[in-house]
Structure 1
Amino acid sequence: MRQESRPAPPFSYASYARGRLARVAAGTAAALVLGGAVTVTPAAAASPDECVFGNKKYEGRPWSLQRVLLDELWSQSKGRGVRVAVIDTGVDIRNEQLRDAVDVSSGANYLPAKDDKGRPVDRGKANGTTDTVGHGTKVAGIIAARPAKGTGFVGLAPEATVIPIKQNDAEGRGTTKTLVRAIDHAVAEKAHVINISQDTANAVEPDESLKRAIDRALRQKIVVVASAGNDGLGGDDKKTYPASYEGVLAVAASDRNNERAPFSQSGDFVGVAAPGVDIVSTVPLGGHCSDNGTSFSAPYVAGVAALIRAKHPDWTGPEIVAQIEQTAERSFAGHDQRVGWGVVDPVRALTDDDRPIESPDPREGLSEAEAPTAAELHLGETPQERSERYATYSLGATAVLAALIAGTAVVVRDARRRTARSKGSALE
C-alpha cells in the first residue's frame, strides 16, 4: 500500500534503445535508490545512434506517414484552431517546422513548481521553448510540424497549435508537483488536447494530486493522451501512470507490421497502439532524428485527436477517444492487452464519423452468421410438388402430340410420293 509520507515521485522521460538500454536501466536503478523516490519515464526509445541537434533533414516520407493517405486525411481536417499542450522537456522553435506551430506566449503565466527539496525547477525560457534534451521537440513535431522544403516529414495535424509546457529540468527529471502544475496550466491555456509522454518506471501510483489534476482536465472536455511505457520486454502486465487513470487514452507502440513493439508496456489500461519504432521527427536547432518508444506513439494519437476535434468541435473528450478506439485497425473482436483496440487508423477515424459514440463496440464491423433454418417435413404431396408434377405431365403430352403430328406428316408425304410414281409408270 502506498504510504502518504512517501516523497512525491519524480517524473522524467524514458529511453528504450539498442546500445543504450543498459545505461537507462542503470540510471533508473540509481534514481530508485536516491531517497527511495519513484521515477517516471516519458516513454521514448532512442535510435541506436545518438541524435545530433541541428541534424540534416530527412528527405523522404517516414514509414509512419506512408501508412496514411495524407491527402484524404487532410481533406477532412488539418487541426486548425485546436490547441495541443505538450507537457515535456520543452519545444525548441529554432527548428523551422515548429517556428509557426508553437504559441510562444502561452508560458507567460506559468510558474514552475519546486522539487521535493524546495528547489525551483529550471525551465529555461519562461515560454517553454528551451529544450536541452530534445524529447519534447520530437513529440511536438509528430503532432504539428509544418511542411517544409527538403523533407517529407510533417505533423499529422499541421495546422494545430502547440502549447509548450516544460515540466522537466535540463536532465529530464520532474516531480508529481511539476506535472500537476503543468496540467493545470494546460487547462488554463484552454488546451483541447494534452499529450503526456511520461510514465512511472516502477508502476508505483503517484500522489493522489496527480489524479485530481487529470480529472480537472477531463471535466473541461480535454482529451488527455499518455504513453503506456517502455517496460514491456519482460512481458509483465502492469499499470503505469498517468496512462492508467480512468479517462486517459493510453497508447502503446506498434511496429511496421502493426504488431506490438517488444518494449511496449502491455495491460488492460492500453487504449490503442500507434507507430513507435524508427520514428522520424524534429530536433532542436533544426533537422530530424529517428527514435523509438511509446513517447512517440502518444503524440501520433494526440495529432489524430486534434484532427477530430477540429472537425467536430462539439464532440466531448470521451467521444473523441471512443472514435479513435472504434476505428483502430485490428484483426480481432474486442480489446487486447498488447495493442488495446488496435493500431490507430487516422483516415478511418476522420471518415467513419457519421455520429459520435460513447464507447467502442467490439462487434462493430463484424458480421454474425445466422443459424441454418431446418427444412419442413411434409407427409403428403406439397403444393409445389403437385405443380411440378402437373408441369411434367403437360410437357410430356405436348411432346407426344408433337411426335404424332410429325409422324403423320411423314406418312402422308410418303404416300403422295408413291402415288405420283405409280401414275408416272402408267403413262409410260
Structure 2
Amino acid sequence: MKKQIEGIPWSLQRVLLDELWQDTKGKGVKVAVIDTGVDDVNPQLKPAVDARLGKDYLKPDKESASSGNDQRGKTDGTVDEVGHGTKVAGIIAARPRKGTGFVGLAPEATIIPIRQNDEKNSGKSDTMAQAIDHAVDKGAHVINISQDTTQPLGPESLMAKAVARALAKNVVVVASAGNDGMDGKLKNTYPAAFPGVLAVASSDRNNERAAFSQSGTFVGVAAPGVDMVSTVPGGGQCVDNGTSFSAPYVAGVAALLRAKYPQWTAAQIVTRIEQTAIRSINGRDNHVGWGVVDPVRALADGPEPPPSGPTPDPGPPKPPAPEPAHMAMSETPQERSERLATYALGIGAVLVAVVSGTAVVIRDSRRRGAIR
C-alpha cells in the first residue's frame, strides 16, 4: 500500500469544489471504466465500485472457478495488476478520505469496472467493442476509455459499431487522445477519433498542450494530464502523467452534468464541456481542441440545453467612444506621508545647498577683498 498524498493536487486547486458540487456530486450516475481493471480494496474506491456490474475480458469464467477464493481469479473487473484503471477510476469518483487532499471530481458516482487490457497490451479492438456493449447493457451513463490504437479503424469495424450503439443509447463516450505527440505530427487514434466521441488531450499547469499529448483534428478538449495524483491498488495514491488521466478528468465533469441535467442528450453534454472550456484562441485548434476543460463553468451555466455544437467565441466588443479622463489621486495615506516626507527631504537638501553655496560666495568675496 502506497502512502497517502496529503496536499491538494494542482489539478484540483484550480477548481472551487464547493461551487462545483453545489447541485450534485454525481449520485446515481454510472461511469464505466474500460481499462486494466479497477481495484475495489482502496478505501477511496471501495464504496464507489459496483463489482456486480463489472466484467473481465481477459479471464474466462472457468479460470475463476478453478482458482477458489484467489483475488486474481475474480472476473468482475476488480483485479488490477497494473494499476492504470484504478488511477483512472480515482480521478472520476474517488471518495473523500481523511489525510489526503485528493478526491474524485464526481465523488458520488458509481464505477462499473471492466478489465480489457493488461501490462502486455492483451486487449484488442474486438474485445474493446465487447466491453463497450457490456457497459451499455449495464446502464452506463458515461464510458471512459483511456486506451488507444493508431491502427486505422473504419466505420464498419466492430469497435466503431459498438461506439455508435453506445451513442445511440445516449451514453457519453470519453476517450484519451494518446501520448505519441512528441513528434508534433497530426494523426488519428481510436476510439477517440470516432464521430461523437469526446477526445481529450493533455494540458499542463499553464493550460498548454503537454509535450507528449497527441494532436489531431479529432481533439475535442484538453484537461490536466501532468503530475496527476490518483488512487492505486490496495490503498494510497501516486503521481502519473498522460492523456489516460486527462480523459477521466473530463469523464468526471460529464458525470456531474449527467446528474444535473438528466434530460440532456450525450451530444449536448459534450457541447457544454467544449463550449465552456478555457480558450487561448477564438475557436479550436489541433492541440487542445476547444480549450482546457473548466469544470465549474461547465456546471455553472444555465439549464438551457446547449446548441448542436460548440461555436467560436464572439470577437472582442467594440470599445466605447473615449471620454475625458478624470484625474484623481490614488495614493494611500501611507504613500501620501512618504511622498510629503520625500518632498521635505528634497527641499531641505536644496536649502542646505543654497546656504552652503551662499557661504562659499561670501567667503570667496572676502578673500578677494583682502588680496586687493
- Pairwise TM-score range, normalised by the shorter structure: 0.7 to 0.9
User: For residue 218 of structure 2, what is the aligned residue in structure 1?
Assistant: 269
User: For residue 57 of structure 2, what is the aligned residue in structure 1?
Assistant: 112
Change (3 A) 1:124 1:277: farther
Tell me whether 1:359 sits opposite 2:309 in the alignment. yes
Equivalent position amino acid for 1:128 in 2: G
Tell me whether 1:66 sits opposite 2:16 in the alignment. no
Q: State the Cα deviation string for residues 129-176 of structure 1 (Å, max 9, x = none).
A: 000000000000000000001000000000000000001146342011
TM superposition score normalised by structure 1: 0.70
Cα distance in 1, alignment partners of residues 288 and 119 from structure 2: 32
User: For residue 314 of structure 1, what is the aligned residue in structure 2?
Assistant: 263
**Kept after mapping to 1: 8 A contact 2:221/2:290:** yes
User: For residue 203 of structure 2, what is the aligned residue in structure 1?
Assistant: 254
Q: What is the Cα deviation at residue 111 of structure 1?
A: 7.1
Which of residues 130, 133, 136 in structure 2 aligns to 1:187?
136
Cα distance in 1, alignment partners of residues 300 and 259 from structure 2: 13
Equivalent position amino acid for 1:235 in 2: G
Q: How does 1:327-366 map to 2 (within 5 A)?
A: 327-357=276-306, 358-364=308-314, 366=315
Percentage of identical aligned residues = 65
Which of residues 262, 273, 276 in structure 2 aligns to 1:324?
273
**Kept after mapping to 2: 8 A contact 1:133/1:172:** no
Which of residues 141, 145, 153 in structure 2 aligns to 1:205?
153
Cα distance in 2, alignment partners of residues 60 and 169 from structure 1: 30
**Kept after mapping to 2: 8 A contact 1:142/1:296:** yes
Give the structure with higher Rg (CA): 1
Equivalent position amino acid for 1:324 in 2: I
Equivalent position amino acid for 1:141 in 2: G
For 2:114, what is the secondary structure of its paired residue? strand
Q: Which runs of 5+ in 2 are unaligned?
A: 322-372
Tell me whether 1:126 sits opposite 2:75 in the alignment. yes
Q: RMSD across aligned C-alpha pairs, in angstroms?
A: 2.3
Q: What is the Cα deviation at residue 371 of structure 1?
A: 11
User: For residue 283 of structure 1, what is the aligned residue in structure 2?
Assistant: 232
Cα distance in 2, alignment partners of residues 135 and 332 from structure 1: 33
Residues matched between the structures, number? 312
Equivalent position amino acid for 1:87 in 2: I
Cα distance in 1, alignment partners of residues 57 and 122 from structure 2: 13
**Kept after mapping to 1: 8 A contact 2:56/2:76:** no
**Kept after mapping to 2: 8 A contact 1:101/1:162:** yes
Which of residues 212, 215, 229 in structure 1 aligns to 2:178?
229
Cα distance in 2, alignment partners of residues 322 and 114 from structure 1: 37
**Kept after mapping to 2: 8 A contact 1:221/1:316:** yes
For 1:79, what is the secondary structure of its paired residue? coil
Q: What is the Cα deviation at residue 292 of structure 1?
A: 0.3
Which of residues 44, 48, 51 in structure 2 aligns to 1:97?
44
Cα distance in 1, alignment partners of residues 120 and 41 from structure 2: 20
For 1:105, what is the secondary structure of its paired residue? helix
Tell me whether 1:78 sits opposite 2:25 in the alignment. yes
Tell me whether 1:297 sits opposite 2:241 in the alignment. no
TM superposition score normalised by structure 2: 0.80
Cα distance in 2, alignment partners of residues 203 and 260 from structure 1: 23
User: For residue 27 of structure 1, what is the aligned residue in structure 2?
Assistant: none
Q: State the Cα deviation string for residues 307-331 of structure 1 (Å, max 9, x = none).
A: 0000000000000000000000012
